Amino acid sequence: EQPVESGGGLVQVGASLRLSCVASGSTFSFKSMGWYRQAPGKQRELVTTITSGGGTTNYADSVKGRFTISRDNAKNTMYLQMNSLKPEDTAVYYCNSDPPYYDWGKGTLVTVSS
């Protein structure tokens, strides 16, 4: 099982993007999920998580107040609303469970230009 991420692109500082992640199979709704990102030359990091029912979310300090994670279990889909984007948000964004369970997808590239 491999989630499919989409929604990335090239934007300017301060812009917004909404990423989507679609997971196949029957396990999605039972798992806490997360968005991860890997910037050039850096290790992959966990940015934000959401519990299986969507009731609890957590954010890295670097994105708190700017990013919002959400999910629609009926559609096996998770979202990441990213506002006030900064150049340091430039990375390939991946979705996976927390802790990771699925095979890693190809991710979606977000490039924030100053």
Using alpha carbons, select from 96, 11, 12 the residue that is nearest to residue 107: 96
**5-16 burial by CB neighbour count: b if 16+ within 10 A, else e?**
bebbeebeeeee
Phi, psi (rounded to 5 degrees) for 86: -120, 160
Element (H, E) at 47: strand 45-50
**In the prediction, which pLDDT does 24 show?**
87
Euclidean distance between CA atoms 83 and 48, whole angstroms: 14
What tens-digit pLDDT sequence spans the chain (114 residues)? Answer: 899 999 999 999 999 999 999 998 888 999 999 999 999 999 999 999 999 999 999 999 999 999 999 999 999 999 999 999 999 999 999 999 999 999 999 999 999 999
